[in-house]
Amino acid sequence: MEPRPAALDIALGHGRQPIAASARQAAGLTLWAERDAAHGWRIAAAAADPAPLTPLVGTAERVGDHVMLHGPADPANAAALRTLLPNLRPAPLALATSAGFGDRLGLATPGHVDALRAVGGEGRVAPIFAQQSVRENTRTGRTPQEVLDDATLGAFLAGWAGPVGADADHLKSEADVDAHLAVGFSFFTIDPGDHVVSEADALEGAALTEAFERRPPWAALDSDPADLLRRLAGTTVDLGDRPLTFAPGELERAAVKYGGALAHVARLARHLRGQAGPERAELEVSVDETDTPTTLAEHAYLAIELRRLGVDWVSLAPRFVGAFEKGVDYIGDLGALARDLDGHARVAAALGPYKLSLHSGSDKFAVYPIAVAAAGGLVHLKTAGTSYLEALRVAGQHDPDLLHAVMRLGLERFAEDVKSYHISGRPEGVPDLAALPGTAALALLEQTDARQVLHVTFGSALRTYGEPLKALLRAHPDDYRAALRRHFERHLAPFVGAATGGPA
């Protein structure tokens, strides 16, 4: 039998209802979480003298040969934990296989940790527990600081000892970058979707020539039409199994479609790099939320020109073929997707290396093995709303009336809340709530229309029912953790075998 860790001995010897998995030792002190009837849990620490306890906020007393401190799980102590436990400070994850766990309620991180451990992902799949988009925070009313603090506290509670990242998702402005950099985020997802010209796909002949001359912001790209053609028209990219060249019109079309997006990414990347080097912050480029797929030639154009403009990035999210809709599995031809993913992975290997990022990656169980076959461990999986749906599952088990109320509100708010999402689910497809009394309402979470209506109306639901929902989850933390563990095991297991491992 292995000897019990010293941190656990101290927690068990001096603690009051210690949570054993949380016990950690740092320089000169031992930290752990304790169950607390009033608040769910609190932070405890012990040291031989008071000095190491200084960063923590709480009440201290001497107990035998230790000074004991008890303090709340609050923002001040979240910051203290990041000071005392360096692994909880978000850091770049580089080319490690990685997964983002969006948490709209701030209570899901322990379940995410449980899932990583259950599939053997600890030390293999690098986690981003703090991940929210500006759009999500606008709808939930949370701040970047709150997102980071909740993830820090959840990781501590679960005893996570590995590195973590923190994803400032779908950033569109310098102000967005600044707000997240200021509080310690490390992974910056630039979303230039507003600058993508999807109509370029249909341009031919004179219309394409005119758009190529006039549409891209050539000055911001430090180029002009003749320069681009001179540099890239004859370029061949070796994809291993085949060469990739720009067919007639492809380069012009790529510049019209993505030139504005390139300029936008370069501007925000320069802004970020002016304040934080690559050891402090890394960049993802996202063009997934657009109307038409990214061709391999367009992907190559983006990568070549980003590099020329001095942008360094760790992952890129193309718009793949088919539909990556919220809350449901992939919609489309899996054979076509396999070919598409394989091609994009080859472009990323030839012009990088960098990771392919799977946005709207929640519940895409058919996609994960295909992505691994194409890219190996060079994948970043991004999930968000599915943890919220698992919270509603727990609500349906313990308070079906609350799930009913959230569903009714979702039906009322759908027309407004769906405007920024691309989904096929519709209110008219949602089952009749009167036919789902009590816990039968859990069937809503297995039905596509209901899942998607619930998914996109989360902001309205949390403004109205957020407090009772969070109170229910705090009253049943083990049930929420178990639901998340089961659900995310299916997300993570396919990636573990090919994972490249996290940073030290």
Percent of the chain exceeding pLDDT 70 equals 98
Span 287-307, average pLDDT: 96
Residue 257 has pLDDT above 70, yes or no: yes
Contact 358, 364 (CB under 8 A): yes
For β-strands 126-133 and 165-171, DSSP reports them as: parallel
pLDDT in tens, 61-92: 998 889 999 999 999 999 999 999 999 999 99
pLDDT interval class at 5 (50, 70, 90):
low
Instruction: Find tokens 């405007």 and name the residue.
Output: 419
pLDDT interval class at 502 (50, 70, 90):
low
Residue 1 has pLDDT above 50, yes or no: no
Instruction: Find tokens 């480029």 and name the residue.
Output: 285
**What pLDDT score does 11 carry?**
75
One-letter amino acid at 326 equals: K
Query: In this structure, what token pair is assigned to residue 263?
Result: 């300029």
- Report domain extents, the chain: 6-84
CB atoms within 10 A of CB 438: 10
pLDDT in tens, 432-442: 999 999 999 99
Pairwise CA distance, residues 350 & 109, whole Å: 35
**What pLDDT score does 7 carry?**
66
**What pLDDT score does 41 carry?**
96
Pairwise CA distance, residues 141 & 2, whole Å: 46
Q: If you write DSSP's letter for every residue of 458-488 in order, what string do you get? A: HHHHHHHHHHHHHHHHHHSHHHHHHHHHHHH
Q: If you write DSSP's letter for every residue of 179-237 in order, what string do you get? A: HHHTTT--EEEE--GGG--GGGGG--HHHHHHHHHHSS-TTTTT--HHHHHHHHTT-EE
List, by residue number, the catalytic residues: 169, 284
One-letter amino acid at 92 equals: P
Contact 91, 504 (CB under 8 A): no
Pairwise CA distance, residues 260 & 196, whole Å: 6
**What pLDDT score does 504 carry?**
59
Span 138-154, average pLDDT: 97
Pairwise CA distance, residues 84 & 46, whole Å: 13
Listed residue (221, 208, 300, 217) closest to 253, CA to CA = 208
If 0-12 CB within 10 Å is exposed, 13-18 middle and 19+ buried, where does residue 234 land? Answer: exposed
**What pLDDT score does 2 carry?**
42
Span 22-41, average pLDDT: 92
Query: In this structure, what token pair is assigned to residue 18?
Result: 């210690």
Residue 240 has pLDDT above 50, yes or no: yes
Lowest mean per-residue pLDDT among 24-33, 118-127, 163-172, 333-342: 24-33
**What pLDDT score does 375 carry?**
98
Pairwise CA distance, residues 408 & 454, whole Å: 9
Contact 251, 260 (CB under 8 A): no
DSSP single-letter state for residue 424: -
What 3 state SS string does 116-132 have?
HHHCCCCCCCEEEEEEE
pLDDT interval class at 6 (50, 70, 90):
low
If 0-12 CB within 10 Å is exposed, 13-18 middle and 19+ buried, where does residue 313 land? Answer: buried
pLDDT interval class at 289 (50, 70, 90):
confident
**What pLDDT score does 156 carry?**
98
pLDDT in tens, 318-350: 999 999 999 999 999 999 999 999 999 999 999
The residues near 160 (Cβ < 8 Å, ≥ 6 apart) are 87, 88, 113, 127, 129
Half-sphere exposure of 183 (CA within 13 A, CB side): 23
DSSP single-letter state for residue 440: G
Compute the CA torsion angle 55, 56, 61, 67 (nearest 10 deg).
Answer: -60
pLDDT in tens, 414-432: 999 999 898 999 999 999 9
Listed residue (139, 129, 64) closest to 93, CA to CA = 129
**What pLDDT score does 10 carry?**
79
Question: What are the residues facing 60 on neighbouring strands?
Answer: 69
For β-strands 29-36 and 18-26, DSSP reports them as: antiparallel
Span 480-499, average pLDDT: 97
pLDDT in tens, 162-189: 999 999 999 999 999 999 999 999 999 9
Residue 229 has pLDDT above 70, yes or no: yes
Percent of the chain exceeding pLDDT 90 equals 92
Q: What is the mean pLDDT of the chain?
A: 96
One-letter amino acid at 302 equals: L
